[in-house]
Amino acid sequence: MSTFETPDREQEADPETLLEDLLIGTEAHRNAPGVVIPPNAVQEALTRLREDAGYDHLSTVTAQEYADRFEAIYHLRRFADPTDELSVVVPTSKEDPTIESAAPVFRTADWHEREAYDLMGISFEDHPDLRRILLPETWQGHPLRQDYDQDRPQVVPLREHRNPIAENQQTAEGEDTMFLNVGPHHPATHGVLHIETVLDGEQVVDVDPDIGYLHRCEEQICESSTYRHQIMPYPDRWDYVSAGLLNEWAYARTAEDLADIEVPAYAQTIRTMGAELSRIAAHMLALGTFALDVNGDFTAAFMYAMRERERVEQLLEELTGQRLMFNYFRLGGVAWDLPDPREEFFENVREYLNDVPEAVQEFHDLLSNNEVFQLRTVNTGVLEPEVAKDYGCTGPVLRGSGVAYDIRDKDPYGRYDDLDWEVVTEDGKDNYARVLVRIREVEQSARIIDQCLDRLEDWPEDDREIQSNVPRTVAPDGGQEIYRAVEGAKGELGIYIRTDGSDTPARFKIRGPSFSNLQVLPELAEGEYIPDLIAALGSLDLVLGEVDR
């Protein structure tokens, strides 16, 4: 199913040799070696790394400020082997922070660099469209800079903003077009997303997602919170539609690797089970809302999905005490053991698992086997695998294009490596394939939960360690940098942390998978009809909390 060829590692050049003439230094990050290159060699370096060394996935771009310089880090990895990582570090001057844009090499860099420009004020030369992305276009200053004055009030009047309908609206062929704001309040935007759309009749000519309505400064909040206790509740609020445990794991994995905290096998098993329950709940919501977008409101498919999700929510509530904002993981384990009486909990989960095949069949009956549904979704919103990789798409979106990239499989954490499950891919590349992937992943998650249950049931009573011994204050050694990712409900959910020796991170950067997945929307929607724009948007399964952070 995978479109990958196994890279022949022997033949591929070592990054340092490859960049020999560009290299101005090296660094050692916890997850990867780092190469330091001058700001005017970004395109050259990334092109070489991509084409000759096989680093075809730009996970994210982290921008940060040191006392003497600004710095952008391009986190590279391979789709075929995400454990083979490389950080390309690009320092730039404090006075005139300018870096050559990587957008011509990796399309995904477009948005990541816009974010770096918006929040850190690094300008990118040769960038196709260097505008603010999260903040309003008239915002003054760059909020993540050290000299930014947070107390200064900002007035952002509408009249000072660009007027999208000021210029003459015609297509290249001279057809009259119509500008249409889809959102920020629109039934199909799954949150507060604003899509500036240009229509020629019913056909979509141009799409420009405008994000930032839900920007809550999550990165900055995490930078001022302590590793040990204060950060953990926030991941729940990124992908806030019941994928909480998956998000928490992203932080837990990063921080545990950073501070060398061991997690007991028992806690890892509980985590794995909880995370997969979260995934089922999140996928159910994705299916349901997609049915809303394609079937219309008041449809059975949506309510059936919500009903299934509700059963998972109840299990999660039994496990964690919460329904959405779980705050259940702790560094070194989980907050508490399985609920008492254990047998009852096991029985409830088993009962649910027994019903999963029937529920999945119901969705096949209602959605995937429905001819009208197929008419609407097959061959619409086509996403070629190469395009998807270029845009940094991950998760079901990428797997719907036939690429078997799943962090659980390729860079295992928790108990995933000794459980029996499969990475789900579909070759359809269209909206239909993305929906099918989600339906089938529910089955795989159920398989994983089932195996976790088997182990938990037989776990010897004196070995049920839910948390390892973690100091009251976690303050990793200063000067460390790490990027770690887990497979969230939407794809690769990664976190970059730089330590400064204190008990709070010096830089905390979140890679929300929906951010990259949303960026690909114009590729899916342009040239299609409005209903397919909506269907494509739904098939990307966005959560704006994760896009805007």
Q: How far is the CB of 354 from other proteins (least distance, A)?
A: 19
Q: How far is the CB of 534 from other proteins (least distance, A)?
A: 5
Q: Does 138 bind other proteins (CB under 8 A)?
A: no
Binder of other proteins out of 73, 188, 349, 359 (CB under 8 A): 188
CB atoms within 10 A of CB 372: 9
Rounded Cα distance between 341 and 348, Å, is 11
- In the complex with other proteins, which residue's Cβ is closer, 2 or 177? 177
Binder of other proteins out of 373, 391, 432, 496 (CB under 8 A): 373
Q: How far is the CB of 357 from other proteins (least distance, A)?
A: 19
Q: Does 294 bind other proteins (CB under 8 A)?
A: yes
Q: Does 300 bind other proteins (CB under 8 A)?
A: yes
Binder of other proteins out of 14, 126, 175, 202 (CB under 8 A): 202
Closest by Cα among 302, 430, 426, 438 to 376? 430
Q: Does 24 bind other proteins (CB under 8 A)?
A: no
| Residues numbered 305-344 forming contacts with other proteins, rule: CB under 8 A | 307
Q: Does 304 bind other proteins (CB under 8 A)?
A: yes
Give CA torsion, residues 401, 405, 406, 410, to 10 deg: 160
Q: Does 186 bind other proteins (CB under 8 A)?
A: yes
Q: How far is the CB of 181 from other proteins (least distance, A)?
A: 8
Binder of other proteins out of 95, 298, 340, 341 (CB under 8 A): 298
CA angle 142, 146, 152 (to 5 degrees): 60
Binding-residue pattern over the window 525 to 544 for other proteins, x denoting contact by CB under 8 A: ----xxxx-x----------
- In the complex with other proteins, which residue's Cβ is closer, 348 or 370? 370
- In the complex with other proteins, which residue's Cβ is closer, 295 or 519? 295
Q: How far is the CB of 187 from other proteins (least distance, A)?
A: 5
Task: Decide the pairing of beta strands 85-92 and 33-36.
Answer: parallel
CB atoms within 10 A of CB 272: 24
CA quadruple 464, 467, 471, 475: dihedral sign: positive
- Tokens 């999700």 appear where? 309
Q: Does 22 bind other proteins (CB under 8 A)?
A: no
- Tokens 């680093």 appear where? 55
What are the helix (H) ranges across 89-193?
109-120
Q: How far is the CB of 203 from other proteins (least distance, A)?
A: 9
| Residues numbered 140-179 forming contacts with other proteins, rule: CB under 8 A | 178
Q: How many CA atoms lie within 13 A of 71 on its CB side?
A: 20
Torsions phi, psi of 502, nearest 5?
-90, -175
User: Which listed range, 57-65, 353-361, 365-373, 501-509, lies at the site for other proteins (CB under 8 A)?
Assistant: 365-373
Binder of other proteins out of 8, 21, 147, 297 (CB under 8 A): 297
Binder of other proteins out of 118, 223, 239, 293 (CB under 8 A): 293
In sequence order, the 6+-apart residues with CB closer than 8 A to the CB of 169 are 176, 177, 178, 179, 198
Binder of other proteins out of 376, 447, 455, 464 (CB under 8 A): 376
Closest by Cα among 113, 119, 146 to 215? 119
Q: How far is the CB of 182 from other proteins (least distance, A)?
A: 9
Q: Does 303 bind other proteins (CB under 8 A)?
A: yes
CB atoms within 10 A of CB 145: 16
- In the complex with other proteins, which residue's Cβ is closer, 251 or 302? 302
Grouping H, G, I as helix, E, B as strand and the rest as coil, residue 301 is helix
CA quadruple 214, 215, 216, 222: dihedral sign: positive
Binder of other proteins out of 234, 238, 249, 302 (CB under 8 A): 302
What are the helix (H) ranges across 334-493?
342-363, 371-377, 385-390, 395-399, 407-410, 431-457
Sort 399 into a burial class: Cβ within 10 Å, 0-12 / 13-18 / 19+: buried
Binding-residue pattern over the window 458 to 497 for other proteins, x denoting contact by CB under 8 A: ----------------------------------------
The binding site for other proteins (CB under 8 A) comprises 178, 180, 186-188, 202, 291-300, 302-304, 307, 366-367, 370, 372-373, 375-376, 529-532, 534
